[in-house]
Amino acid sequence: MYFEKIAILGVGLMGASFARAVRKLGIARKICGFGRNEAALVWATKNGIIDCYDVTLSGLASGADLIILATPVGTFERLVTEISPHLRQGAILTDVGSVKGSLVYTLEGLMPKGVHFVGAHPIAGKDQSGMKASSDKLYKNALCIVTPTDKTDLTALETVKNLWSSIGCSVKTLTPEKHDEIFSSISHLPHIAAYAMVNVIAEINDGFFEYAGKGFKDTTRIAGSSPEIWSDICLLNNENITSHITIYIDKLNTILTHIKNSSKDGLIKEFDNARALRKKMNDSLHTNIEDCIDNV
Amino acid sequence: MYFEKIAILGVGLMGASFARAVRKLGIARKICGFGRNEAALVWATKNGIIDCYDVTLSGLASGADLIILATPVGTFERLVTEISPHLRQGAILTDVGSVKGSLVYTLEGLMPKGVHFVGAHPIAGKDQSGMKASSDKLYKNALCIVTPTDKTDLTALETVKNLWSSIGCSVKTLTPEKHDEIFSSISHLPHIAAYAMVNVIAEINDGFFEYAGKGFKDTTRIAGSSPEIWSDICLLNNENITSHITIYIDKLNTILTHIKNSSKDGLIKEFDNARALRKKMNDSLHTNIEDCIDNV
């Protein structure tokens, strides 16, 4: 596995960390970036994160045999529409987006003949965003989901799987649909819940924040995530997310009813169930993977 | 400040940590415990956490000038009803309970003449429960709320404030009502939200837990808390909690509506608001205090 030119769209935490990890492996002749902020791209070049940058998508695509989307998912369709006429035969397009589903089929449909799309979602990140927070170890021990379809080129699929494995990920394959159902529940819903929780306190009395302990802080840590990224995720995975928010409200209403009925047994049943599952989770396999606060 | 006998009802994480901290200061001639499990009390005595224990409340109360309630809040009224005839003149009764409100007035009303109740709530704890997880440093740098009423004896109030200060707490005074409103929002609601979140995944597909990242884990960490303790809290602070769950459901419905209407602007407004408040909280004063997972 060797690439002539890796083109990275979006040199933020995810894109820059990918560049650093790939550079360390020495599997690309050059790594080039594209972004909105030219000054940042200059900084990334001077600091050895990327070898070069382009301010046009045609320039970036020129000669690239691997292109990776690392911008907010809401921009993917537009960017791929613009870049695809410039992609060379045999090139592989992949991404780091938190939403797959219909987006994967849309992007697949935008590929010129002989260019292959393979969706990927590395579950990695940290609290800080931007290229300055990037690290060649970000993807180390992370889970990476790849989401082939019936039309996915099998050679391209193998290349993308090898690529993520080689930078330290544990790679799993899911359909785009199953991916979105899973991450709606285990990631997208908790983000929405955290945003909503902070807004509750603001509505009641924002002076109450000063009494917050570690429980509140942990519960709402991911409310520090990027609104741009997470609004895109909500809109692109809207069917799963609306269904899961509804189930969450149902569960809250169950507890509310037990409280209104002074049903200690009812409350203990709900809490016991949750506690047992949460404790079991501590023993599960992927305890080292970090959630992706800035993962697009 | 020196006590002849400190009597601790409930030698779990909170009670045993209190015993250890007080012993280190050398402000009590003896520290005695009471609990349901005699073998545990023997262990605590052998390991120097307490000096002695009693299996009857009359024995425990005998000669005690400071009595501290460290059992689940739902047991307070019964225990105080049983112990109060045995309390000596001038004794002070306090607690570590997460609920104040009407409970404070109830307990106050159960005091014999010359015995004083002062409510307290140290915001401290950790993930493990029980005396074996106890530490003389648990209350170090923690916030401790004391909740006097119009009838509170001022000398007893000063003693209780000094007591918590002396073991490292930053002491604040609130009315019982304000305490319950604040902690319903900033602590009780997040616990309920965490329990409900875990139960959502179980309902959708419990196989999805294996895909959980750090975000889900942090968001649901407090779902590992004791169902016994938290069902009591829910029932005793039911008015605030039902009101705050309702506001939380409203906030979730606001986000749900924006998703259904494909309103990116609406989502960004909600998320921006939460993000700004959450980031501001990181800079606030009490960043070192730990939430109380087993705090009664």
Q: Is A208 close to B182, i.e. CB distance below 8 A? A: yes
Residues of chain A numbered 90-119 and touching chain B (CB < 8 Å)? none
**Where are the domains positioned within chain A?**
3-175, 178-282
Residues of B in contact with A205 (CB under 8 A): 181-182, 185
Of the ranges A120-129, B57-66, B73-82, which one carries the lowest mean pLDDT score? A120-129
SS3 B47: coil
- The yes or no reply on domain B3-174 and CATH 3.40.50.720 is yes
Task: Give the pLDDT of residue B287.
Answer: 38
Categorize the per-residue pLDDT at B295 as very low, low, confident or very high, splitting at 50, 70 and 90: very low
Task: Give the pLDDT of residue A172.
Answer: 97
Residue B285 pLDDT greater than 60, yes or no: no
Task: Give the pLDDT of residue A283.
Answer: 66
Using the Cβ of A277 and the Cβ atoms of chain B, whether some distance falls under 8 Å is answered with yes
Q: Is B221 close to A219, i.e. CB distance below 8 A? A: yes
Task: Give the pLDDT of residue A217.
Answer: 93
**Closest-CA distance of chain A to residue B171, Å:** 12
Using the Cβ of B249 and the Cβ atoms of chain A, whether some distance falls under 8 Å is answered with yes
Residue A62 pLDDT greater than 80, yes or no: yes
- pLDDT tens digits for range A256-273: 999 999 999 999 999 999
Using the Cβ of A78 and the Cβ atoms of chain B, whether some distance falls under 8 Å is answered with no
Comparison of pLDDT for A126 and A294, the residue scoring more: A126
Residues of B in contact with A216 (CB under 8 A): 186-187, 190, 291
Burial A39-55 (b: 16+ CB within 10 A, else e): ebbeebbeeebbbebbe
| Mean pLDDT for chain B overall | 93
Task: Give the pLDDT of residue B284.
Answer: 58
In this complex, which of A202, A222, A282 lies closest to B219 when CB atoms are compared? A222
Task: Give the pLDDT of residue A284.
Answer: 58
Categorize the per-residue pLDDT at A287 as very low, low, confident or very high, splitting at 50, 70 and 90: very low
SS3 B7: strand
In this complex, which of A220, A244, A251 lies closest to B199 when CB atoms are compared? A251
- pLDDT tens digits for range A26-52: 999 999 999 989 999 999 999 999 999
Residues of A in contact with B189 (CB under 8 A): 197, 200
Q: Is A221 close to B218, i.e. CB distance below 8 A? A: yes
CATH code for the part of the protein at A3-175: 3.40.50.720
The topology (CATH level 3) of A178-282 is 6-phosphogluconate dehydrogenase C-terminal fold (1.10.3660)
Three-state secondary structure of chain A: CCEEEEEEECCCHHHHHHHHHHHHHCCEEEEEEECCCHHHHHHHHHCCCCCEECCCHHHHHCCCCEEEECCCHHHHHHHHHHHHHHCCCCCEEEECCCCCHHHHHHHHHCCCCCCEEECEEEECCCCCCCHHHCCCCCCCCCEEEECCCCCCCHHHHHHHHHHHHHCCCEEEECCHHHHHHHHHHHHHHHHHHHHHHHHHHHHHHHHHHHHCCHHHHHHHHHHHCCHHHHHHHHHHCHHHHHHHHHHHHHHHHHHHHHHHCCCHHHHHHHHHHHHHHHHHHHCCCCCCCCCCCCCC
Mean pLDDT of B215-220: 93
Mean pLDDT of B263-285: 90
Residue A73 pLDDT greater than 70, yes or no: yes
- Judge if A3-175 and A178-282 fold alike in CATH terms: no
C-alpha neighbours within 13 Å on the C-beta side of residue B18: 34
Task: Give the pLDDT of residue A169.
Answer: 96
How many whole angstroms separate alpha carbon A54 and alpha carbon A34? 5
Q: Is B247 close to A200, i.e. CB distance below 8 A? A: yes
Q: Is B284 close to A212, i.e. CB distance below 8 A? A: yes
**ipTM summary value:** 0.90
Residue A290 pLDDT greater than 50, yes or no: no
Residue A286 pLDDT greater than 50, yes or no: no
Mean pLDDT of A185-199: 97
Residues of A in contact with B181 (CB under 8 A): 204-205
Of the ranges A54-58, A175-179, B266-270, B289-293, which one carries the lowest mean pLDDT score? B289-293
Task: Give the pLDDT of residue A281.
Answer: 84
Q: Is B277 close to A248, i.e. CB distance below 8 A? A: no
Using the Cβ of A191 and the Cβ atoms of chain B, whether some distance falls under 8 Å is answered with yes
Task: Give the pLDDT of residue A292.
Answer: 32
Residues of A in contact with B249 (CB under 8 A): 249, 252-253
Mean pLDDT of A77-98: 97
Task: Give the pLDDT of residue B290.
Answer: 37
Q: Is B182 close to A289, i.e. CB distance below 8 A? A: no
Residue B39 pLDDT greater than 70, yes or no: yes
Cα torsion through B158, B164, B166, B170, rounded to 10 = -100
Q: Backbone dihedral region of A88: left (phi > 0), alpha (psi from -120 to 50 degrees) or beta? A: beta
Residues of B in contact with A139 (CB under 8 A): none
**pTM for the full model?**
0.90
**Closest-CA distance of chain A to residue B221, Å:** 7
- pLDDT tens digits for range B94-134: 999 999 999 999 999 999 999 999 999 999 877 677 899 89
- pLDDT tens digits for range A151-160: 999 999 999 9
| The A120-123 sheet, strands edge to edge | A120-123, A143-146, A170-173
Task: Give the pLDDT of residue A211.
Answer: 94
Q: Is A262 close to B238, i.e. CB distance below 8 A? A: yes
| Mean pLDDT for chain A overall | 93
